[in-house]
Amino acid sequence: CSGPWPPPGVSLFFIFNLPDLSGSIDSPDVKVHISGDSSKDTTATTFLRQRGYGWLLEVEEEDPEDNKPLLEELDIDLKDIYYKIRCVLMPMPSLGFNRQVVRDNPDFWGPLAVVLFFSMISLYGQFRVVSWIITIWIFGSLTIFLLARVLGGEVSYGQVLGVIGYSLLPLIVISPLLLIVGGFDVLSTVVKLFGVFWAAYSAASLLVGDEFKTKKPLLIYPIFLLYIYFLSLYTGV
């Protein structure tokens, strides 16, 4: 910086006797008052609990069972249904299936699906047949159940309902064959008898146990007639 020092009009005494301006600035002691919603909440909570209304503040914990899949909630086991279908369609003991599971572990949705499917393929413009097939399934199973109990069998209505429903599968299997051989009366009759015997054998082998002894024909015969009636509803007779 050029120019005379000290500046004109400023004495050296004044420059060297300046007050000491060094130091630190203290931060002001500021107190922030927060009007607490939390304190109000605490007061309200205490008040409600003292008055016996603490249950209003309780939060219900989620039950893990409420988050089950829909199929599990409806008690539908697709693997179990598939296994039972195989047991009914292949009733020969030599195949090694545990066929008693169809009787000992009854379910509702599998037989209902089979009955509804049989009803669908039996329509042919006659919509009343659907209600008839379901009615015959329910009351026909009830008749077989009552007859089995009278003869000394140890079965429940749910077991009979499941076995009769699943055993409609052979009639579903032969339905495409009937469409093919429908013009040949003799061959069509043979296919129908084969389907009825197949269905009746599948049901009777599960429902007619050793406890019936010499009374087995008394239960096998009405089962056979029941599937003849089911087939007649399919063919429109």
pLDDT in tens, 118-154: 888 877 656 667 788 888 999 999 999 999 888 887 8
- Measure Cα distances from 141 to 91, 112, 169, 207 in Å: 20, 13, 16, 11
Among 235, 228, 234, smallest CA distance to 118 is for: 234
Evaluate the omega torsion of the peptide bond into residue 28 and state whether it is cis, within 30 degrees of 0.
no
Between 94 and 25, the higher pLDDT residue: 94
pLDDT in tens, 12-31: 444 455 555 555 555 445 44
Q: For residue 161, is pLDDT > 70?
A: yes
- Measure Cα distances from 66 to 61, 70, 73, 74, 209 in Å: 11, 10, 9, 12, 41
Question: What global pTM score does this model have?
Answer: 0.66
Where does the pLDDT of residue 99 fall: very low under 50, low under 70, confident under 90, or very high at 90 and above? confident
Between 6 and 58, the higher pLDDT residue: 58
Where does the pLDDT of residue 61 fall: very low under 50, low under 70, confident under 90, or very high at 90 and above? low
Q: For residue 34, is pLDDT > 50?
A: no
Q: What is the pLDDT of residue 162?
A: 92
In angstroms, the CA 133 to CA 118 distance is: 8
Annotate 115-149 with b (16+ C-beta within 10 A) or e (fewer): beebbeebeeeeeebbeebeebbeebbeebbebbe
Q: State the Cα angle at 43 between 42 and 48, rounded to 5°.
A: 100
